Chains A and B, each alone.
Chain A
Amino acid sequence: MSETVERTVKGGRSAFFENPDVDRLLAMLMRLMTEHWALKERVLTLEALLAEHKLLPEGAVESFEPGPGEDARRDQESFAFIQAVIEAAQNIDPQTDRHPPAAKN
């Protein structure tokens, strides 16, 4: 089997917020931003290649005007996107106590 490099860090790393879950969330957010950026770079590359190969005029994306149908579709999709992201947390309830009841002795 080939040698590979692992991602584990001997000695770990620190957390800074009173609730370390904030540090965890920040780490997840940064990873998400990384992936968002990677996708954005692909889109930029695609636009550049489409223009270079004259498959699409330069500035075509920038000057694109969605027609009424497309415009409405984007309104609905942006609303759904916002709703999905924010409501991902809706079931978290600090009052919910799932610890097993104490033994009756």
Chain B
Amino acid sequence: MDTRLHHSLEIAKASDNRARERFASSLRGYILNSMANQMREDYEQKVAPALDQAGQPLPEDGVGVHRLMRDRTAFRFYSSLRCTAQEMVWNSVIDSINQNVDTLTEVGQEDDTESTDSRSSLTLDDALEIPDYYRAVDVHLMPGNYDGHASRPGLLPGAVYDNGFNVFAFGAMGKQLNDIGWSMANFVRLKFPDLKPEVIVDVGCTIGHNTLPWKQTFPHAEVYGIDMAAACLRYAHARAKAMDVDAHFRQGSSDHLDFADASVDIVFSSMFLHELPKKHIQRFLAEAYRVLRPGGLMLHMELPPNAALSPYDAFYLDWDSYYNNEPFYKNFRDQDYPQLCADAGFAPEAFFQSVMPRYTYVDEEVFKEAISGQAQFDEDTGRLSNDIQWYGFGAHKT
């Protein structure tokens, strides 16, 4: 399993640390494929039939399945090992990062934090007010969350994310962790070929891993990445330069997008909405509506809504909300996504959604075929495994 970053922010890693990364990645792959399948079989072949035989109704939602599963041995082992594996993901890269603090600091300083040129820039806002919810927990058990424990974390939180996420993904999310960005950008290119975007904004961009594919897919567009975490944006800017892809990174909140009315062609986010409390989701979508030009669109790569999934699949994806320090995850996925878009001002008939294979793993013809029909939901939709399908939804600004 290749956990190299494939760009020049690679840090030197002791061979034992590389072995520990490999182990953590393999363990994740084992848990999310083999142990997840065993847990599903336990439900389908033992728990559900036992209810049938007792003449009891099957659960109607993920909460009901969760109640039945939480005392099962398969669930306990899957869950305990999955939490441990999550911690191992970050721990397997932390020693390497701490051994490279000087290198990362030097790159960060070379980068000249407030640089601007016409093609790429980094703009930070020290006065940005960070809401309390943002710092309440370390999301997905990542030590330091997105902005780091230390008072001046430099590039470290971004390096934790970039290196750790590589281990987390066990090779399933793209060579530079960017398959989601490539998939979503090419979905737009192929599905809406009349749209020639000039301004594209990725909100909640973290280290810009899914931002840059938009520039690579639409090279004539100005691409912006917005995030609240200054540390991640510094890293994003350095990473984009290392990969020689132009993008503008700005510190800001999704509550207020620093763009004029009707000035943007595409507002995008990936794996972001589920980290927001509902009122912030509503504010963000309303802002997306405001800044979009007529003819533009909003697209969010996310996990599928619980309403579209079987009770077991809903339970399976809800797990992170309970056990992976993702406190807003389930609440988001319980929402009616078309209604969220309509409430923001988008016309109801302008809503769209799609399920797609990973663009960088399949031929373009296979990808085109998959996005041509209605979204089909199954156990692979949103489930990080070797067969994952991405889900995206959004709306056109008419």
On A, residues with C-beta under 8 Å from B are 2-11, 13-17, 22-23, 26-27, 30-31, 33-34, 37-38, 40-42, 45
Q: Give, as a whole number of angstroms, the nearest-CB distance from A42 to chain B.
A: 7
B101 adjacent to chain A (CB < 8 Å): yes
Q: How far is the CA of A13 from the CA of B87 in the complex (A)?
A: 9
Bound-complex Cα distance A88 to B68 (A) = 36
Is B80's CB within 8 Å of the partner chain A? Answer: yes
Query: Contacts A4-B101, A6-B144, A17-B76 hold; do A42 and B94 have CB atoms under 8 A apart?
Result: no
Closest chain-B Cβ to A26's Cβ sits at a distance in Å of: 5
Would A38 and B20 be within 8 Å (CB), given that A2-B101, A16-B75, A30-B27 are in contact?
Answer: yes
- Ranked nearest first, the 4 interchain pairs of A and B with the lowest CB-CB distance are A11-B137, A41-B19, A38-B19, A10-B138
Pairs A–B under 8 Å by Cβ, sample size 16: A3-B153, A7-B91, A8-B149, A9-B142, A10-B135, A10-B136, A10-B145, A13-B87, A13-B325, A16-B79, A17-B76, A17-B80, A22-B80, A34-B23, A38-B23, A41-B18
User: Complex formed: what's the CA distance from A14 to B141 in Å?
Assistant: 11
B94/A7 in contact, CB under 8 A: yes
User: Does B238 interact with chain A (Cβ within 8 Å)?
Assistant: no
Residues in B whose Cβ lies below 8 Å from that of A30:
27, 81, 84-85, 88
B residues engaging A (CB < 8 A)? 15-16, 18-20, 22-24, 27, 70, 75-77, 79-81, 83-88, 90-92, 94, 97-98, 101-102, 105, 135-138, 141-145, 148-150, 152-154, 156-157, 160, 322-323, 325
**Cα separation A27 to B97 with both chains bound (whole Å):** 22
Interface of B is mostly: helix
Q: Is the CB–CB distance between B97 and A5 below 8 Å?
A: yes
Report how far A9 CA is from B326 CA in the complex, Å.
13
Knowing A3-B153, A33-B23 are in contact, say whether A11-B83 is a contact too (CB < 8 A).
no
Q: Are A3 and B154 in contact (CB under 8 A)?
A: yes
Shortest distance in angstroms between B255's beta carbon and chain A's nearest beta carbon?
Answer: 23
Knowing A14-B323, A42-B15 touch, does A4 contact B22 (C-beta < 8 A)?
Answer: no
Chain A residue at smallest Cβ distance from B91 = A7
Given contacts A11-B136, A41-B22, contact A23 B80 (CB under 8 A): yes
